Structure formats: C-alpha cells, structure tokens
Structure 1
C-alpha cells in the first residue's frame, strides 16, 4: 500500500516548481479559498456536493499540489460511493491555480490520484467533468449511461474509469455516498478568498 507522504515526487517533464503530496490540515484554509474562487460560493449547492456532504474523503486520496514556496496551487480528493450497487470512488473537486495550468499541475494530480487509488485496491472511479479533458486518463461515458446523480446533471459529463476491467459492468441506478462520516469542522472564509480570481477548474 502506498503512503503518499513518503513517496518520492517526480516533477513533470517541464520542471514545474511544485510537488504533489498528501493533503495536510494546514492546507485547509488555502484549499477552501481556492475552491471558493474556482467554483463560487454556491459550490456547496452543486449536485456532486450531495455525495460529499458530511462525509470524509477516501483514506490516502486527498492530494495537494504545492509550490516550493509553500503556496497551494492545486487540490483533488476522491470519495467512497456506491454506483448503483457497485463500489467505486467519485473524484472531485479538482482545482488548479491558472498560473500553473501550463505546468501540468492538473494532469499530475490526476495521475497521482489514480495511481494511489489503484494501489489501494479500488476498482473504479467516476466523476462529473469535461469529457475531452478526462479522456486522456481513460474516462468515458461507456459504463455510466445507466447511472444517476442525486440532482440535475449533464449526462455527457458523467464519466467512468475502470481500474479493474469490468468493474462497472452492469452498474445501474443512483450513485450514493458510502464513506465514513466527517469530523465536525468550521469552515473559514475570508474576503480575500471570496475575491480571489483567475483560477481554473476541471471537475465539479
């Protein structure tokens, strides 16, 4: 089983000045600011948020991209769900600072997250996002046509990836959360977080 905190970090080929590591408690304020700026303050009303409310992320599958100066420039989390009775993970939110969009932060976060999920024995990952972007990682609508989310969503954006061939065969019905309950916490918002601009996102 891979411990991301002790895993050597390989920089992207273009030598971007960032590392991918396990999310830390000290990342929370910066992460919330990044997500607020990326998705807006109504992000907690989005359909996929219903699968994350009051749930803890899957163990070992919350990652941060951090510059050498300590600035958080990217984040991704995965969560336990049942995809019509099939155990799976749902990925998101994925958010990246636009100053790093050409440095491969999003792609590196995705690669590390999927590798970690596979190493921990997970068999399938689902997300709601742009098909052209996620196709490069193997996501498609091939196995998600019979799945539903607890709210409005665009069918062509519901994508799946089998980490084990056939893992999503026959998946049908509502996607529901199955993760452990989250510990109570107080969200921190600042005017700077609400006014932060020029941030880009890929997955809701």
Structure 2
C-alpha cells in the first residue's frame, strides 16, 4: 500500500478530526474526545505545526499523529519535551503499518527540529518497538494515575534524559 506522510494543512482539519474520532470509536481506554483535543491543541502554545502529520492513501487522509510540547519539571529545573498524542489510523487501515510510518516520520522531524525527547502514554507492547522505555527509568512521573509500563519516554538524542527527572506538565488542553 502506498502511503504519503506529510504535514497537516488547515484545510485537512475536518477530515483529520473525523479520522481521530473513528480511530478511537472502539478503543478500550478513551473518553472519545480525542478529536476535540486535537482541535484545542492546534490553538495552543504547545502546538508545533511541523509535528502534526497526516498519512494519505490514494489522496485520502487515513491517519494522523500529533506531537506537542510538554515540560518535565522538578524542584530545581524544567526541561522541554514532546508528547506523542494522539496517534490515529482509520480502523480499516489499522495493522497495516500506517501508524508506524507516522511515528517514524514524526520522530525524525522532531529530532531535526532540535527536540531531545518524547513522552507517550500508550500500549506497552507497541511503543517499545520505536525505542520507548518506561519513563520511571529516568525518574519521569506521569500526572495521570496510570501503570508505569504505559507511561514511556524516548531519547531522540542519546543521553538527553540523563539529568532529567520530575513530573510531566501537559498543556491545559489535555486536562480540560
């Protein structure tokens, strides 16, 4: 299957939000508001346009990924990082490698833009294949009540989390 990964454009927004809604319709752990989160994040200070990507097949958007800025804060310092959320693929295209292509391109772009690390709250059997490890390995704590194995971090630059620890501060849009 031919997949084109590109930056999301403003005229994609409605279609992207439809893809996000459909992707999470039958998901186990969701409040079914991810499409609204995407819309809110686009209007936030955390939004990085180059890190909102869509996957197209035959000219149709079938997937979307968004990485937005977060802060990892402890008593002595703050470190900027990214949050991977959400990753969405239309149900009929899931398990075809679309999500993997979106993640790989988003991580590559994030590294090119100079970001050093990415946080994800997600499936512990899926994200480790991209290099994600439990965030607790670095002393990075989730603000959400989740099991450690579901809250993960990835160094985009080797050693970039060596001296980073603390609570992840998400944009308020995640908490609304």
TM-score (norm 2): 0.78
Deviation at 1:75, TM superposition (A): 0.2
**In the alignment, what sits opposite 1:18?**
3
Deviations along 1:33-57, one digit per CA (max 9) or x if unpaired, are 2222233483448xx98x9595242
Q: Indicate the larger mover: 97-106 or 140-149.
A: 140-149
Which of 118, 123, 130 is the matching residue for 1:130? 123
**In the alignment, what sits opposite 2:19?**
34
Q: Secondary structure at the match of 1:111?
A: helix
Larger Rg: 1
Residue 143 of structure 1 contacts residue 171 of structure 1 at CA under 8 Å; is this kept in 2? no
**In the alignment, what sits opposite 1:5?**
none
Q: Secondary structure at the match of 1:89?
A: strand
Q: Indicate the larger mover: 82-91 or 106-115.
A: 82-91
Q: Indicate the larger mover: 166-175 or 103-112.
A: 166-175
Q: Secondary structure at the match of 1:127?
A: strand
Deviations along 1:83-135, one digit per CA (max 9) or x if unpaired, are 22221111110011232224311111111011101111111111111122111
Deviation at 1:63, TM superposition (A): 0.3
Which of 147, 150, 159 is the matching residue for 2:143? 150
Which of 60, 64, 67 is the matching residue for 1:71? 60
Paired residues in the alignment total 161
Q: Secondary structure at the match of 2:149?
A: helix
**In the alignment, what sits opposite 2:70?**
81
Alignment of 1:161-180 (within 5 A): 161-177=154-170
Say if 1:142 and 1:178 are closer, same or farther in 2 by CA, change over 3 A: closer
Unaligned runs of 5+ in 1: 1-15, 182-204
Q: Secondary structure at the match of 1:78?
A: strand
Residue 144 of structure 1 contacts residue 171 of structure 1 at CA under 8 Å; is this kept in 2? no
**In the alignment, what sits opposite 1:109?**
102
Rounded to whole Å, the distance in 1 between the matches of 2:12 and 2:152 is 28
Unaligned runs of 5+ in 2: none
Residue 67 of structure 2 contacts residue 83 of structure 2 at CA under 8 Å; is this kept in 1? yes
The answer to which structure, 1 or 2, has the higher relative contact order (CA under 8 A, 6+ apart) is 1
